[in-house]
Amino acid sequence: MSIDSATAYDLHAQEFLSARDHSNIGVDVIAHWCITLSKYAEVLELACGGGYPITRVLHEAGLRLWAIESSPNLVAEFQRRFSDVPVQCAKVQDSDFFGRTYDAVLAVGLMFLLSETEQVELIHRVAQVLLPGGRFLFTAPLQSCQWDDATTGITSQSLGRIAYEDCMRSAGLSLIATYTDRGENHYYEAQRIA
């Protein structure tokens, strides 16, 4: 029987929390990104998990946050930790993103869990909720590849830099930077063309 990544992460929520809560991988990149945003920027975090360590960095930076997470178990932990942050329990594919626009959107550890079609659709949807000049930061390998997700065993796929750039361009976004954290995760930073 095949299950999607949202269901798989809910089933493996405690395992995911145990691993992610004690990891600082990505913190430096996110902390740097926060500094480049305007003070009190309104930021949407997609696939927020339990909030550690990424939401914690965003929260400590004073950003105004909204979050989406598909796992009810992870949402419960997130709410316990960040009671002041609105969080929606939904797949990103089904979310209305709170029916508003944002200065920035962040998706760490999500994009490659989606099918190719879902990744393309998500990039276009994010572009629509970004204000002009708004920023989108997401993680995915630079090369086109497939692998099994370490937490769930679900097949993951990166479309690769060329395909992501083409998709962003068609959505009205411009790639402005790439980063690599100490865990060798790659980050794409795009900006909505004003």
Task: CATH number of the domain at 178, please.
Answer: 3.40.50.150
Q: Name 148's bridge partners.
A: 155
Hey, which residues does 139 pair with through a beta bridge?
187
- Domain housing 84: 5-192
Write out the chain's pLDDT in tens, 194 residues. 456 777 778 787 787 778 787 788 899 999 999 999 998 999 999 999 999 999 999 999 999 999 999 999 999 999 999 999 999 999 999 999 999 999 999 999 999 999 999 999 999 999 999 999 999 999 999 999 999 988 888 899 999 999 999 999 999 999 999 999 999 999 999 999 97
pLDDT reported for residue 79:
98
Return the number of other C-beta atoms located less than 10 Å from residue 54's C-beta: 23
3-state secondary structure of 118: helix
Amino acid in position 71: S
Please give the sequence-ordered ranges of beta strands (E in DSSP) within 9-129, or none if there are none.
42-46, 64-69, 87-89, 102-107
Alpha carbon distance, N-terminus to C-terminus of the chain: 45
Question: Can you tell me the distance from the alpha carbon of 105 to that of 65, in angstroms, rounded to the nearest whole number?
Answer: 10
User: Measured between alpha carbons, how far is 55 from 108 in angstroms, rounded to an integer?
Assistant: 10
What does the alpha-carbon distance between residue 127 and residue 121 come to, in Å, rounded to a whole number? 10
Place of tokens 């909030």: 51
Structural domains in the chain (count): 1
Name residue, tokens 């609105």: 86
In the block, tokens 């992870």 appear at 74
Q: How far apart are CA 55 and CA 114, in angstroms?
A: 21
pLDDT score at 2: 59
pLDDT at residue 1 in the model: 46
| Strand 102-107 versus strand 130-139 pairing type | parallel
Specify whether the CB–CB gap between 187 and 180 falls below 8 A: yes
Residue 27 and residue 57 in contact, taking contact as beta carbons nearer than 8 Å: yes
Q: Hey, what are 62's tokens?
A: 């004073």
